[in-house]
Amino acid sequence: MTATADGRLDPEYDPEPAAVGERPPVTDRLTGRQTTVATAPAPGAGRRQAEGPERSGPLDPAQALARATAELLSRQSPDGWWKGDLETNVTMDAEDLLLRQFLGIREPEQTAATAAWIRSQQREDGTWSTFYGGPPELSTTVEAYVALKLAGDDPGAPHMAAAARYVRERGGIAASRVFTRIWLALFGWWPWERLPEMPPEIIFLPRWLPLNIYAFGCWARQTIVPLTVVSAHRPVRPAPFDLTELHTDPADPYPLRPLAPPTGWDGVFERLDLVLHAYHKRALRPLRRAALAQAGRWIVERQEADGCWGGIQPPAVYSLIALHLLGYDLEHPVMRAGLAAFDRFTVHTEDGRRWLEACQSPVWDTCLATIALRDAGLPADHPALVSAADWMLAEEIRRPGDWSVQRPRLAPGGWAFEFENDNYPDIDDTAEVVLALKRVAHPDRARIDGAVRRGVEWNLGMQSRNGAWGAFDVDNTSTLPNKLPFCDFGEVVDPPSADVTAHVVEMLAETGLAGDRRTRRGIDWLLKNQEPDGSWFGRWGTNYIYGTGSVLPALVAAGIPGSHPAVRRAVDWLADRQNPDGGWGEDMRSYEDPVRWSGRGDSTASQTAWALMALLAAGEGPDGARSEVVERGVQWLCRTQLPSGSWDEPQFTGTGFPWDFSINYHLYRLVFPVTALGRYLHGSPLTGGGA
């Protein structure tokens, strides 16, 4: 049984293949139904999309919706929430083994199960990618190789030799990202002197100075603060083996990179890094001790009730290492709780493999499921929806967090993404939770109205100066943090995005604020930031299909007519990007190469649903003129639906960092098709703003 060991029932059993190798029929834990999983490819081939139940001839969307609705209802927790597995890449699993090795708590059984998962994700060429069907990725391959070597895999074995050969061909360990080399430095496989320096004294920089910790996005600052502690201590644990085979030149394993010209930002920061390295050797000891103590307090104060930090993996692993270096032993309550949190992020497969979620998404999944079920025609007072509303109401965050550094006078009233993350409610979840609560006929209407009012006011207070919204912070738009040599992986700031702004605009429209000046500023920003081809960029979902699928329903809800030129350009773009099979899909490579990949990729259930939601909102369906494009999309969903009621979707359609960190939300393949089919059959959702 797939389960997260968090003491809470995980309602989702994902019937689609998640690992290489044949698997027997499995039983859904809530419905008792058995599902036969498609045969996976030969060992080493990686995962592939299972053959769907392709059916010919026109199919009944109402029957497809009924099956999908029943399946979605079956996955609800008795406590009212939904949560699908959140799949990323094997660096989560490799770093888990490295963390346990560093702390001296790595166990044989855990190691073997994790190694089996890592092997199952290896590509035919011996490498690892960061998303399904993606190209090889150097740093991911380095970390996976090291983890398997920790597990006892013979470097001479074909799968290991192939991985090592790829690493050498791509420049060796020296060409890997900074975060990978930090993990290697913990064991002496890379010298600390050849890593960018990040001193803990940064904790004292005031907010008005560039590069203070609040100039970074919340996920980055939570990672950087503990890493300043690690950087100051520069610990080295005895390495159980060497990694000579991963260097291009074993005689010169740590080559210096030439400095960039001093006339550009890269050159300026590289020279600043040289100064910081010199300071490391001569740091003022009282100041350094004070900075380390302050950083330690900052970390401990942000530990959540479940023991995690920010509900995500990177801050958690580095916080544990930092606190351990500051003298916290493994039996300290903070350390025990932090390590226990990883058990709650662990997924065990039927065939004995073990992998870690980078994060968990119960609030996001629950509000999306609630919206979907209402759109599917479930009564507003259905017990499942009332139960979901009760759970969401209990998750409201009523205390200040890091966001209040920029908005000290703003009253709290938002929701986070995870089970426990009171320091970092986010604007996107808050908007969608408000939309979900508005759709439920709860017996305590005053309680719903109060939560909705607080959520709306908090989101309005988090509007950036340009009229749009970021995910966690206000005006977190400095370009300097991304230029630091330390920050060579992922986005480290949180500028406004089209998808988050659209969700807030839609929420404001449905709460009667379509004509509010602040809503109109958000609409103006969306219209100005439409891509020349008619699409919108998707920051938190892949990619232009997600952005467009978010923006069009919001614009229409706020009163922009379907005849508006921006709407028509978007409709034309979606029609142009429809696949010959009738579905839509977009590969993660659209973040790197939008000319070739924008709106292009194998059809997926979630992306087809996003396109349909946009087209239906624009009047391209039963509510308006009959559309062949819409009909073909609906028929694709009907034709590819699994007998269970869900869809097969090994593709990654969620985004953590564009291109650098991709996500497969296992509930997306069900919740969004339910929404799209529901709106196709029952009409568009309520639009409180109106034209």
Whole-angstrom Cα distance, residue 186 to residue 425?
33
> Nearest-CA neighbor of 164 among 243, 264, 65?
243
Phi, psi of 32 (to 5 degrees): 80, 5
Whole-angstrom Cα distance, residue 549 to residue 551?
6
Q: Catalytic residue among 428, 473, 494, 648, which?
A: 428
Number of other residues whose CB lies within 10 A of the CB of residue 36: 12
Whole-angstrom Cα distance, residue 400 to residue 397?
8
DSSP 8-state symbol, 359: B
Whole-angstrom Cα distance, residue 563 to residue 551?
15
CA of residue 216 relative to chain centroid, distance = 18
Whole-angstrom Cα distance, residue 143 to residue 120?
15
Whole-angstrom Cα distance, residue 281 to residue 278?
6
SS3 label, residue 531 = coil
Is the four-CA dihedral 482, 421, 232, 235 of positive or negative sign?
A: negative
Please name the helix (run of DSSP H) or strand (run of DSSP E) that holds residue 182, with its range, or none: helix 178-185
Residue 279 tokens read as 């300071």
Is 376 exposed, middle or buried (CB count within 10 Å of its CB: 0-12, 13-18, 19+)?
A: buried
Is 351 among the residues known to form the active site? no
The full length of the chain comes to 691
Phi, psi of 158 (to 5 degrees): -55, -45
Whole-angstrom Cα distance, residue 321 to residue 315?
10
Give the amino acid at 171. G
> Nearest-CA neighbor of 657 among 603, 596, 607, 592?
592
Give the amino acid at 224. I
65-101: b (≥16 Cβ within 10 Å) or e: bebbbebbbbbbbeebbbbbbbbbbbbbbbbbbbbbb
Contact assessment for residue 10 and residue 83, using Cβ atoms and an 8 Å cutoff: yes
Q: What are the C-alpha distances in Å from 177 to residues 34, 102, 664? A: 43, 20, 23
Angle made by CA atoms 73, 74, 77, in degrees to the nearest 5: 90
Residues 6+ apart with CB under 8 A from 130: 88, 89, 91, 137, 140, 588, 660, 661, 662
What is the helix, strand, coil percentage profile of the chain, to 5? 50, 5, 50
Contact assessment for residue 400 and residue 425, using Cβ atoms and an 8 Å cutoff: no
Whole-angstrom Cα distance, residue 396 to residue 376?
26
> Nearest-CA neighbor of 149 among 250, 20, 246, 238?
246
Concatenating the DSSP letter of every residue in 382-418 gives: -HHHHHHHHHHHHT-B-S--GGGGT-TTSPP-BB-SS
Contact assessment for residue 403 and residue 463, using Cβ atoms and an 8 Å cutoff: no
Residue 60 tokens read as 């009944």
Q: Name the residues annotated as catalytic.
A: 428
